[in-house]
Structure formats: structure tokens, C-alpha cells
Structure 1
């Protein structure tokens, strides 16, 4: 059985859990990280030398990095991955974009507003990160004008990490301008039971 180490309020763990739920993969999740500890124990560090979450063990294969885990599970189980090589490359592209562009804006907003006490917040830096997030979402909106989901007209693993970042974006930057295509797509994410179970029902902490 697939084992997942990580706390359920980690955005990166949520990626894996949402994907597992969509694919119907039998699994066991073990709390790890922050208040649960575990990640600094020698046995865990043997699996993941970074001491971060998530880590998975899948029939003897140990993996870390949430987007890589998602792609592995999608290919193994034949779910949520397009058939064509070109579309698989687009999945990789947009999942990388989540980390290198969208996440680079939303992440500092989350740290600044959720993890930092009010009296210690660097509000100019938070505002700069908000603007970077808004600019990133404009790029996503232009892509979603072309098709229903991030890569084509079928839900894929590319929608998962971006959907999680958009939950944080919508929660933490309510003043952001409406984007018709993103808003239509995000509503379809909210309508998915796995999103509600593993993302939107869990408070940001």
C-alpha cells in the first residue's frame, strides 16, 4: 500500500492527497512535519534528506517533491495524464510554472499573512507579492480562455497544484480583480469532492 508522510495542511501534501483521491489509490497517510515532528528522525532522513514533506513509499520506490509524486502516480495508474507527449510536456510546464511563478507570489503572501504575527509583517513586501500573484493569474486566465482545464479540456494532474495555489490566492487576496476564465475553472475545482476534502475544508495555518 502507498504510504504518504506529511501533515494534511501542507499545500504540497494536499497535492498528493488530492491526486490520490482522484485516482482512487489505496494509501496510508502518516502525520509528519511541523507540530508532528518525524522529519528530523534518522529513518525519515534516509527517505528524504531534505527533511520536508511529503515523502511517499510506493512498493519500494521512495519519492519526494510533490509534483514529481503526482506525475509518478498518474503514469503508474493511467489516470490524469494526457496520452500525447506534447500534452504531457505541457503538464510538466504548467506544474513547473506553479512552483516558479505562481507560487513565488502566493507563497510570500501566505507566509506574511498566515505565519507571521501582525506586528512583524512586512506589508510592502506582502503587497509586492500580491501584485506578482495577480500578474501570474492573468497569465493563467489567458491560457484558460483556450480550453476548460489547464491542459486541454480534460482534468489532469496539472490542475491540482495550481488549484491549491488558487485556493490560497482567493482566500488571502480577496481584493484581486475578477478573471472570468480563471473564475470559471476555479469553480469547477471547488465542485470536485477531492478538492473539498483535501483542500478547501482545511484551514490555512
Structure 2
């Protein structure tokens, strides 16, 4: 059976849990990370020297990096619906997954830590304003894309890209500040809410 290492409050662990729900994969999960077993323990570092969650062990195949895990699970257990085999269709899914990880994921950090986690180390008003402004700019990119597709981020159909992007959208709406009007993003949020996996691991009260 697939084993997932990481606490379910982690947005990156929730990516993997949502993917398992979409793909019908049975798994067991162990709590590691903040508030649980330390990822600095030798047993964990042997799996991931970066000391970060999630990590999976699939019958002896150990893998870390959440988006890489998503791609593996969809390739190993999927039928091609979430992660198409055709190079151009797959590249479009990869593009938005990589955008979420490299651009969108990076910009919200200060605002999220300040406004949701209430971190004392993130109390600088100028940095907070800059983070919100940067985050809003990338969400405008998503707004334009969703206006084009009228549905999901990679096109007409739900794909693997909607898992990381959808959790990012959930974090956007779950962080308390004055949000600019993004009607296509709001429609997308409600569209995702039709999926059981999103309700269980995305729009479940956790940002």
C-alpha cells in the first residue's frame, strides 16, 4: 500500500491526498512535521534529505517534491484523464503546475505567515503590503487564464494542474485581506467545490 509521510495541515501533503481521492488510490498516512515527529529524525532524512513533507513510499519506491509525486501517481495509477499522454496537452498541464510552484507559491509566503499563521517574524507592514500586491498580480494572471478557458486551468477538463492551483485558490480566499474582484477565479472556486476531493482536502476550513 502507498504510504504518505506528512501532516494533513500541510498544503503540499493535501495535494497528494486530493490526487489519491481523484485516482482512487488506497493509502496510509503518517504524521510528520510541525507538531508531530520531526522531519530532522534520521529515519525521515534517509527518505528526504531536505527534511520536508510530503514523501511517499510506494512499495519501496520513495519520492519527494509534491508536484513530482502528483505526476508519478497520475502516471502510475491514472488512465490519462488527469495527466494526458499527448505531449502538447501534457505540457499545458505541466506549465500551470510549474507556475504554481515557482511563481504563485512563492509570492504569498509573507502575507500568509502574517495574516493566517500570525507569525511574529512577519510583522513588517511594508513587506506585507508588497506580498499582497505581488500575490494579487499573479492571481490576475490566473483570472485571465480562466476567462480564456471558461472552466479549468489547463482547458475544458479537470486535470492534475487543478490540484495545486485549486489549493492555491483556496489559500487566497482563506487569507483575510481585501481581495480584488476576480470573477473567473470565484467561478473556478465554486466549480472545484463540486469535487469530493477538493471538499475533503481543499475547502475544508484549512488555508
Is 1:163 aligned with 2:146?
no
Correspondence for 2:194 among 186, 191, 195: 191
**Preserved CA contact (<8 Å) 1:39 1:51:** yes
Query: How do 1:61-72 residues align onto structure 2 when only pairs under 5 Å count?
Result: 61-72=61-72
- More deviation in 155-164 or 96-105? 96-105
Correspondence for 2:152 among 149, 154, 157: 149
Runs (5+) with no aligned partner, structure 2: none
Displaced runs of 4+ in structure 1, greater than 6 A?
none
Runs (5+) with no aligned partner, structure 1: none
Q: Supply the distance in 2 between the matched residues of 1:155 and 1:39 (Cα, whole angstroms).
A: 33
TM-score (norm 2): 0.92
Q: Supply the distance in 1 between the matched residues of 2:121 and 2:6 (Cα, whole angstroms).
A: 30
* CA distance 1:119–1:29, shift in 2 (3 Å): closer
The residue that corresponds to 1:39 in the other structure is 39
Q: Supply the distance in 1 between the matched residues of 2:105 and 2:99 (Cα, whole angstroms).
A: 8
The residue that corresponds to 2:180 in the other structure is 177
The residue that corresponds to 2:103 in the other structure is 101
- More deviation in 193-202 or 28-37? 193-202
The residue that corresponds to 2:142 in the other structure is 140
Q: Supply the distance in 1 between the matched residues of 2:3 and 2:122 (Cα, whole angstroms).
A: 38
SS at match of 1:115: coil
TM-score (norm 1): 0.93
**Preserved CA contact (<8 Å) 1:12 1:54:** yes
Is 1:26 aligned with 2:23?
no
Q: Supply the distance in 1 between the matched residues of 2:122 and 2:190 (Cα, whole angstroms).
A: 34
Q: Supply the distance in 2 between the matched residues of 1:61 and 1:200 (Cα, whole angstroms).
A: 30
Q: Supply the distance in 2 between the matched residues of 1:185 and 1:82 (Cα, whole angstroms).
A: 21
Deviation at 1:110, TM superposition (A): 1.0
Correspondence for 1:130 among 132, 146, 156: 132
Deviation at 1:116, TM superposition (A): 3.5
- More deviation in 79-88 or 130-139? 79-88
How many equivalent pairs are there? 204
Q: Supply the distance in 2 between the matched residues of 1:74 and 1:157 (Cα, whole angstroms).
A: 8
Query: How do 1:71-110 residues align onto structure 2 when only pairs under 5 Å count?
Result: 71-79=71-79, 80-110=82-112
Q: Which has the higher helix share?
A: 1
**Preserved CA contact (<8 Å) 1:113 1:121:** no
